[in-house]
Amino acid sequence: MRWYPAYFLCLLAAPAVAQDEMNFADRGERVLDMAVLERCAGAEKIGVDGCDAADLAENLGLISGSEIRPFGKFGMESFAMLTSLRYAASSLFFLAEGEPCYAEEERGAAVEIWSLWVELPPDIPQVMAEKYAVFDGVMDKIVTLELGC
């Protein structure tokens, strides 16, 4: 009987703690926004159709192993995916900084890694295939990115 007040307080505190941990953006921390990647994957090219190059670069840079690692369970080279997407982010950052030649080097690395090591297996679940399609659509835009070096 004497533990009921403490137990009750713990029940009230748990949702508040969980809610605080889930709201990284509310605390000023940057979090991956897949909607940005989805918009860019469906856009004609980077810079049009709501695909802002700076937003894309930031979100590509925020992709972590936890978003890519599940692909490895299906036989994909998840480390190559992550590396390629990070090079793509770097390319966009260099382009924004007025360094098109460095951007070209980073883009070249991203495209080469993606084309050599990243391939969708035929037996992958639909959910994973759809997520891959977003990343692949973004990489298509990186391939056609005009850099002017």
d(CA 65, CA 71): 10
pLDDT of residue 149: 79
Locate the domains of the chain by residue range.
1-62, 68-144
pLDDT of residue 77: 93
What radius of gyration, in Å, describes the C-alpha atoms of the chain? 20
Nearest to 110 by CA among 76, 73, 135: 135
Nearest to 40 by CA among 145, 111, 141, 120: 141
Burial group, residue 139, by CB count within 10 angstroms (0-12, 13-18, 19+) = buried
pLDDT of residue 67: 94
pLDDT of residue 15: 46
d(CA 77, CA 21): 31
pLDDT of residue 12: 47
d(CA 143, CA 58): 18
pLDDT by 10-residue block (mean), the chain, 149 residues: 49 45 57 95 92 96 94 94 97 95 96 95 94 97 88
In this structure, are residues 54 and 96 in contact, taking their beta carbons and an 8 Å threshold? yes
pLDDT of residue 90: 97
pLDDT of residue 147: 82
